[in-house]
């Protein structure tokens, strides 16, 4: 779907419709129409506030990536639970700087959020030039390995999905 | 309601509470601020997740229909938890909070 003047954010409209139907927790023609109206009206009214959304080149890839992330979140929960219950003297906390190639704001936000939700890492800060992400880790043996893992597991798929130029 | 469904609902509630408890324990036990952030941002996701699944099964079985609006709780949690963790971490960096002595690497100065 191409964005146009009267439908500036088609994807956002669909999301709003789905969220509306979930909120109502039911399905009927009336609510479908009302949800569609809201999904059309809200992006139209608020469009001056929106930053330019990136083009999503590979929607299927994005869905796969999100499923992969949800699975990682489950594993992260178990791992962090184990670390918390174990003796805290064995933990090896560290600050790690991760160079990022993503340039788009939404893609960067997604990367930072995913890092915060997955195994033993919380993104703490983004450098002023938006080239480095500061990450705090709860227990890490090898910083280099962690940087490589994060870049391969989370940044590479996002780069592909949003088709940013890898500089 | 069928005993089996009640059993499954109870199981998910217990599992959820267990993970919420672990998250709270982490907040209490870990030595410094940044490490404490890890407990609530992660262990609680599964805690809330377990309760959300229990709620979906319970209301789905009681009203003989699909109950999906609990999924929104998960969605909003996934959007808001990293943001609040990030803001807390940024504030802590600004305040230059004491780090655990074993922490490798230092936060930068900006």
Q: pLDDT tens for chain A, 167 residues: list them.
A: 556 667 777 777 888 888 888 887 777 888 888 888 888 888 888 877 776 666 677 778 888 888 888 888 888 788 888 888 887 777 787 888 888 887 777 788 888 888 888 767 788 778 777 788 888 887 777 778 878 888 888 888 888 877 654 44
Q: pLDDT value at position B9? A: 92
pLDDT digits (tens, 9 = 90+) for B74-105: 888 888 888 888 888 888 888 877 777 767 76
Interface probe with A: pick from B35, B42, B60, B81, most Cβ of A within 10 Å: B42
Kindly list the residues from chain A whose CB atom is less than 8 angstroms away from the CB atom of residue B78: 113, 117
Domain limits of chain B? 3-95
Q: Give the integer Cα–Cα distance in Å for A116 and A107.
A: 14
Question: Is the Cβ of B94 closer than 8 Å to some Cβ of chain A?
Answer: no
HSE (side-chain half, CA atoms, 13 Å) at A68:
13
- Given CB atoms, is A120 within the 8 Å cutoff of chain B? yes
**Could you give all domains of chain A from N- to C-terminal order, each with its CATH number?**
10-49 (no CATH), 59-162 (3.30.70)
Site of tokens 């979930």 = A22
CA distance A57 to chain B (A): 22
Is residue B67 pLDDT above 90, yes or no? no
The predicted pLDDT at position B24 comes to 85
Name the minimum distance, in Å, from the CA of B4 to any CA of chain A: 25
- In this prediction, residue A166 carries a pLDDT of 43
Average pLDDT, chain B: 82
- pLDDT per position as a tens digit, B5-50: 899 999 999 999 988 888 888 888 877 888 888 777 776 778 888 8
A66 inside 8 A of chain B by CB: no
Nearest to A73 among B45, B69, B108 (CB): B45
Q: How large is the ipTM? A: 0.73
Q: Which of B76, B84, B89 is nearest to B35 (CA)?
A: B89
Residue B24: Cβ within 10 Å count: 16
Cβ–Cβ under 8 Å, residues A120 and A138: yes
- Is B17 in the A-facing interface, judged by CB distances under 8 Å? no
Contact in structure between A138 and A83 (CB atoms under 8 Å): yes
């Amino acid at each position: 779907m191409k964005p146009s003047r009267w439908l500036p954010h088609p994807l956002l409209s669909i999301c709003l419709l789905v969220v509306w139907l979930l909120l109502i927790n039911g399905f009927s023609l009336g609510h479908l129409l009302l949800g569609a109206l809201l999904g059309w009206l809200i992006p139209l009214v608020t469009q001056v506030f929106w930053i330019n959304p990136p083009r999503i080149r590979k929607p299927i890839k994005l869905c796969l990536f999100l499923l992969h992330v949800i699975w990682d979140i489950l594993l992260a929960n178990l791992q962090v639970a184990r670390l918390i219950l174990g003796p805290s003297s064995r933990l090896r906390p560290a600050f790690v700087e991760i160079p990022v190639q993503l340039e788009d704001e939404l893609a960067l936000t997604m990367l930072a959020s995913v890092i915060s939700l997955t195994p033993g890492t919380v993104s703490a800060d983004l450098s002023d030039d938006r080239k480095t992400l500061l990450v705090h880790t709860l227990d890490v043996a090898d910083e280099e390995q962690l940087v490589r893992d994060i870049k391969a597991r989370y940044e590479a798929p996002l780069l592909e999905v949003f088709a940013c130029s890898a500089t | 309601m069928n005993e089996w469904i009640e059993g499954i609902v109870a199981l998910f509630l217990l599992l959820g509470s267990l993970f919420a408890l672990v998250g709270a324990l982490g907040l209490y036990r870990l030595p410094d601020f940044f490490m404490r952030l890890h407990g609530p941002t992660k262990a609680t996701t599964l805690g809330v997740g377990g309760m959300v699944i229990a709620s979906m099964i319970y209301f789905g079985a009681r009203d003989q229909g699909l109950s999906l609006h609990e999924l929104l709780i998960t969605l909003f949690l996934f959007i808001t938890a990293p943001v609040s963790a990030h803001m807390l971490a940024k504030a802590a960096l600004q305040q230059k909070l004491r780090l655990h002595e074993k922490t490798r690497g230092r936060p930068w100065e900006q």
